[in-house]
Structure 1
Amino acid sequence: MTSVNTIGGFQPPHMDEVLRRACAVAGLDAVHARVLRGHTNAVVLLAGEPVVVKIARRGSPRTDALRTVRFVRWLMEQDFPTAPLHPIASEQPVVVDGHAVTFWTYLPQPPHPVRAEQLATPLYALHNLGTPPVGLSERDNVTAIKSSIARITDLPAPLIDALSARVDRLAEELAGMRFPYPKTAIQGDPQHRNALHHGEGAVLCDWDTVAWGHREWDLVTIEIHCRRFGYGDEHYRDFANAYGYDVTGWDGYPTLRDLRELRMITTNARKIAHAPASRPEVIRRIEGLIAGDTSLPWNIL
């Protein structure tokens, strides 16, 4: 078996054991499994069957994984374009030594990434599905940002102070904002890497961030990824045209953009202890925010 790497704090010998035991419960074979990703979760492809195994960090609430499973099952019942859960011999999630483990059907991927335009159809469908029969937490970026800032341990104090002052200012702006659309189910982190090619289109995946909130949070996230990670303005314009709405033309866009970018940065900042190589990039991003540089390219962490 190829060991899960240590990105995100995973220790290979322990993770290999968790994978083996979870697969045994599910009636699957973990021999010669291959790591696909190893950041917040370990994502592993089995060798013998088209199954992807997702292992949450130890201590992540089982209820979070159970909510994801129930939500995705509902999506599948609606014939929604989602990465499908894989049927296994037991109920999901399987919990092994404090790790919630879920199993997904593997969808082979071409070498080129999903385009932003391909995300428009599934996102629009999600935003118009109605209320799911699953309790979703309210999207609260301000609280999440403040929680991350409180857990940062490896940045200079002036930078942490700048982050705190920024979120306080943006929270005041957000409090007086009027949104053009009602709340709905949102993916929470829609982006090119959280979608998969399938047939002629794309399906959404990685539902850990699903929440109840305003669709503008999803739309601004797409715009940020296009602008910050080198996809370009045309990439975003194709998405906006396909979705039928351009969030950058809304007067609340600058506040949501700044809050969403701040959450992305502070989430990575609190993880520096587990990923010390990310420190220079996190500092570069913070300094760019302080300078007001909205066009600074970001490197993927």
Structure 2
Amino acid sequence: MTQAAPAPGGFDESEMQQILEQGCMAVGLDCSDAFLLRGHTNAVILLGSEQTVVKIARRGSRIDDVRRTVVFVRWLMNLGFPTVPLHPVDQPVVVGQHALTFWRYLPQPDQPVAAVQLAKPLYALHTLTALPVTLVEHDNLSAIRRSFAAITCLSQEDLSYMNECAEQLESDLRNVEFELSRGVIQGDPQHRNALHAIGGGAVLCDWDTVATGQPEWDLVTVEIHCRRFGHGERHYKAFADAYGWDVTRWSGYQTLAAIRELRMITTNARKVRHAPSTLQEVKRRVHGLRTRDKSMRWHIL
């Protein structure tokens, strides 16, 4: 396999290759020209001749969670919702304890999806009803604490500081009054979790974090990505205008933004052992957290 990054998802290259070959054989797809597209979380692999993308769920992922995601995305497809479509095979395919899913490949231009293109799909997602499955409850603070238990790359001083932040933010969250109606949320909406659709527009992808919760979490995530990754205020304002609600004008914004940024830092810190080259950026973000630098430019990991 041609690789664009270190072996991802907790797998070494030979193990990942074996899982890929067995999974593709089960559905009759050729993986002889496989190319690793992304690997920071799951292994996301392009089968060039098949024009199909294979996602091998990160080591330790629950197979039932992947099955639920497949049922949910098939339901979205039947609704005509703007999602990357599943490849028409019976899935997920389970190899050992690892789940594989197969998706239609959508060739992409150089420029990523603009934030404004996320607005209509997210609004449509947030207002869905009569779901085919019971989704998990969105809980950033629990995710942060799970990451704390797995982080090995940071000092005890840094970990203690971040734990104190989490404790204070949990207290602050109890006083937040949400304005929007609960519903389905994507969990991590951003420029790289959407793709340009064939014929125009954008489709959402990467449904691993889909959950039930407050839409404000999705909206603050978009704002953070615009601010932290150099897209700029105008980029975010265009999104807010198109969605019809600006999370930065809401009283709970500061608390939710702080929680979401802490989760982004701790999640990447947890993954450093599988991607050692990201350590410097993780430490930069921790320093920015400790100096309360809300405008520090982050680098994509």
Question: Which bin holds the TM-score, normalised by the shorter protein?
Answer: over 0.9
Matched residue, 1:295: 295
Inter-partner Cα distance in structure 2 for 1:114 and 1:86: 22
Inter-partner Cα distance in structure 1 for 2:70 and 2:182: 22
Inter-partner Cα distance in structure 2 for 1:233 and 1:130: 32
Q: Taking structure 1 as reference, are residues 273 and 122 closer, same or farther at Cα in structure 2, changes over 3 Å only?
A: same
Q: Taking structure 1 as reference, are residues 281 and 139 closer, same or farther at Cα in structure 2, changes over 3 Å only?
A: same
| 8 Å CA contact retained: 2:8, 2:42 | no
Matched residue, 2:264: 264
| 8 Å CA contact retained: 2:11, 2:59 | no
Inter-partner Cα distance in structure 2 for 1:135 and 1:97: 26
Task: Please list every run of 5 or more consecutive structure 1 residues that lacks an aligned counterpart in the other structure.
Answer: none
Matched residue, 1:195: 194
Inter-partner Cα distance in structure 2 for 1:113 and 1:135: 32
Tell me the secondary structure at the aligned position of residue 284 of structure 1: helix
Report % sequence identity: 58
Inter-partner Cα distance in structure 2 for 1:8 and 1:229: 24
**Is 1:107–2:106 an aligned residue pair?**
yes
Aligned residues: 299
Tell me which amino acid in the other structure corresponds to 1:213. Answer: G
Inter-partner Cα distance in structure 1 for 2:157 and 2:6: 33
Matched residue, 2:45: 44
Q: Which moved more, 1:160-169 or 1:42-51?
A: 42-51
Tell me the secondary structure at the aligned position of residue 212 of structure 1: strand
Inter-partner Cα distance in structure 2 for 1:66 and 1:42: 17
Tell me the secondary structure at the aligned position of residue 67 of structure 1: helix
Tell me which amino acid in the other structure corresponds to 1:221. Answer: T
Inter-partner Cα distance in structure 2 for 1:147 and 1:12: 26
Matched residue, 2:147: 148
| 8 Å CA contact retained: 1:8, 1:271 | no
Following superposition of structure 1 onto structure 2, how do residues 56-95 of structure 1 map, counting pairs within 5 Å?
56-88=57-89, 91-95=90-94
Following superposition of structure 1 onto structure 2, how do residues 205-216 of structure 1 map, counting pairs within 5 Å?
205-216=205-216
Q: Which moved more, 1:91-100 or 1:6-15?
A: 6-15
Deviating beyond 3 angstroms after TM superposition, the runs of 4 or more aligned structure 1 residues are none
Matched residue, 1:31: 32
Inter-partner Cα distance in structure 2 for 1:74 and 1:47: 27
Tell me which amino acid in the other structure corresponds to 1:26. Answer: V
Tell me which amino acid in the other structure corresponds to 2:98. Answer: H
Inter-partner Cα distance in structure 1 for 2:174 and 2:53: 41
| 8 Å CA contact retained: 2:9, 2:57 | no
Following superposition of structure 1 onto structure 2, how do residues 151-190 of structure 1 map, counting pairs within 5 Å?
151-190=150-189
Structure 1 length normalisation: TM-score?
0.97
Q: Which moved more, 1:192-201 or 1:123-132?
A: 123-132
Inter-partner Cα distance in structure 2 for 1:169 and 1:144: 16
Q: Taking structure 1 as reference, are residues 200 and 293 closer, same or farther at Cα in structure 2, changes over 3 Å only?
A: same
Inter-partner Cα distance in structure 2 for 1:37 and 1:75: 24
Tell me the secondary structure at the aligned position of residue 44 of structure 1: strand
| 8 Å CA contact retained: 1:54, 1:101 | yes
Q: Which moved more, 1:125-134 or 1:244-253?
A: 125-134
CA-based RMSD: 1.2
| 8 Å CA contact retained: 1:58, 1:97 | no
Structure 2 length normalisation: TM-score?
0.97
Tell me the secondary structure at the aligned position of residue 53 of structure 2: strand
